A and B are shown apart, each in its own frame.
Chain A
Amino acid sequence: AQTVTQSQPEMSVQEAETVTLSCTYDTSESNYYLFWYKQPPSRQMILVIRQEAYKQQNATENRFSVNFQKAAKSFSLKISDSQLGDTAMYFCAFMKRTGTASKLTFGTGTRLQVTL
C-alpha cells in the first residue's frame, strides 16, 4: 500500500514571497503519478500540478513548480510570488499507474495562509 506524508500541518507566507510545501511518499511501484491539489475555502479541489514518475524534469505551472526526487521519494511544491488567492489547503497525492481504475492516495494536507 502507498502512503503519502505531509509533515507541515500549517504554513504561513507573506505576499510576494516564496514558500515550499513538503511531501514524501512510500511505494514499491516504479510507474506512478504525483499531484498537488489545492482546496480553497470554497472546498473545490483544484489541480495545481502533476508529475509523471518516469520524467526526470520537474513540472512547472506558472508560479508553481515541484522538486521531484524519485530516489528520496520526495515531491515538494514551491509557490513563487505568493498571492492572497493562494490561501488554501494543499494536498499531495499519489496515483499508481495501472491499466484499470487508478486510485488517488492523499496526504493529510498543509494549510497555507498568505498574509499581507
Chain B
Amino acid sequence: GAVVSQHPSWVICKSGTSVKIECRSLDFQATTMFWYRQFPKQSLMLMATSNEGSKATYEQGVEKDKFLINHASLTLSTLTVTSAHPEDSSFYICSARDFGRLRQETQYFGPGTRLLVL
C-alpha cells in the first residue's frame, strides 16, 4: 500500500516553455501532497504544500506564479513550471500524506521527475 506515482520521470524542454508534472496517490486518498526540489548531492527542499480543493501554500522564496500547483482531486496534484529556464533544471519529488490503518501520519514519496531545461 501507500504507493505514489509521478509522471513524467524525465523531461527535457526548451527555455521559455512550460512543463507539467503529475503526482498521483495510487491506493489511497491524499488531501495533502507536498512538492520538493532536490539539487545534486543535497537534501530535499520543500517548495509547497498542496491541499485538495484549496490554494497551495508556498515556502518562503518560492515563486507561486512560477511554480503553479493544482490539487483538483484526492489522488492527483500537478506542478507546472511556467516559462522554464535553465536554472529550473532540477529533480522534483512529490509526496502524499497518508494516515494508514493505524492512523499514523506518514509521507510517501513519488519516484521523482528529472527536469532539464535547455
Partner-B contacts on A (CB < 8 A): 33, 35, 37, 42-47, 50, 52, 91, 95, 97, 101-104, 106-109
Identify which of residues 73-105 in chain B touch chain A, using a CB-to-CB cut-off of 8 Å. Answer: 91, 93, 95, 97, 104-105
A37 to B107, CA, bound (A): 10
Given contacts A103-B49, A106-B44, contact A42 B111 (CB under 8 A): yes
Asked whether, in the complex, the Cβ of A108 is within 8 Å of the Cβ of B91, the reply is: no
Closest to B32 in A: A101
Question: Min CB distance, A96 to chain B, in Å?
Answer: 10
Asked whether, in the complex, the Cβ of A50 is within 8 Å of the Cβ of B106, the reply is: yes
Partner-A contacts on B (CB < 8 A): 32, 34, 38, 42-44, 46, 49, 51, 57, 91, 93, 95, 97, 104-109, 111-112
Contacts A95-B107, A104-B44, A109-B42 aside, 5 further interface pairs with beta carbons under 8 A come to: A46-B109, A91-B43, A101-B51, A102-B105, A104-B95
Closest to B107 in A: A104
Question: Min CB distance, A107 to chain B, in Å?
Answer: 7
| 10 A–B contacts, CB within 8 A, in A order | A33-B104, A43-B38, A43-B91, A43-B111, A47-B108, A97-B105, A101-B51, A102-B105, A103-B46, A108-B42
Asked whether, in the complex, the Cβ of B49 is within 8 Å of the Cβ of A101, the reply is: yes
Given contacts A44-B112, A45-B95, contact A106 B107 (CB under 8 A): no
Asked whether, in the complex, the Cβ of A108 is within 8 Å of the Cβ of B43, the reply is: yes
